[in-house]
Chain A
């Protein structure tokens, strides 16, 4: 049997786990810095289109969101609806909403508000156009069409 016996009986010691907490903490801090807490529930399903000419807004507190897409809950139908904050809304409510959201900003920043439109890619333009017209009437002219980034095509 000695044929199969290893001559070298030295074993390497177990890997030290002393640095494990450090690694975990590093991960933790990464996630804390890189993410934001989910502030509002998405009540509509939005598959964002892709675009190459992407602009990133740095001052996130200036952004207000309008979501447009089919409701998550099938009981509300499959036609695209508009979601403002945590509610379904009508096109006619947008002007009031803009006014209210503007008041939540500091006075000096009220003209700098961005409206980010998160619109499902299969939505028909009719709804989107109506929303845009209302935004114009409310003088909320800075609009971001939310999109995922992709490479520029040649």
Chain B
């Protein structure tokens, strides 16, 4: 017996919240499992609450017809509840019907795409480019002028179909160029690639340009530079460029508290790169500058909080626990050292966001606390050794601090 709709909604909501709070590895496993479902059903609702973390984690997702089809519109896709008429956005509820429509119309060609997607993920940028070259231009031609039968099940009006189709067509037509620039996002993207893609989409009008910019900005390591490239295309592009920057400035900083240390460091490092780029962007003035400063402050605080929590959980608590343990396994010490190294990485990134005195203070406090443990530590095979404690200080504060600690302890 199927659960009643209200029960299902409650369960999906509960599952979504649990997924959003899960650790990185669990979240990645859940995503992999949901991605593997033939019928996704409520899977997207479950993932909706974790989407912000997924953006930070960026796990490789399995390629499928629908995912490849909509990659050029990546930045324009929003939850149906956030979609507003007249905005250059595509509601998530429209994706499946559009994909089914295109797949049906392309026939054997679509089947080939489906076959070639098997076993591949979004990490395979080259294969995405090859599949996209085959699919996107044909998809642009395949969309009918009028809404297909059953469109009303999306909860959208027939006129919405036309707007969404009008937005999708030019992005698919220029999908190859757009994807080339999107895939090169971690390198900027380079001005030349971005300019080429945007110039190709420009004749399709401001909505298409805004959607393309949104897709590019979402993956760009240098969104500010990208916006400046866009603003220089034509005078009227400046507004679209600033709107794209507004979306970046509206983004909440990654939830570092929910990411593991490696994930938090990667997310923080990516954010630092973006912030430093935005600070060089001449399109940001007045209120936008203030919002940017606010974003930096929030990121700085998130980073410092994550560092302090990590320091306690990965170093201080385990060290204290191991002091009281009769037989200390090498693996436990190795885990502490790994945590200390990851924290060092996070701290180095965090200092670029500001708050250096806070890190200095936290590390000094940690050193003092570990120094207090040194006289209690032994040198026996089974014990937590003085050298183990000294190495933690060395990893986090440097060899000179470790030498001082050992010297003070005699």
| B partners with A | no
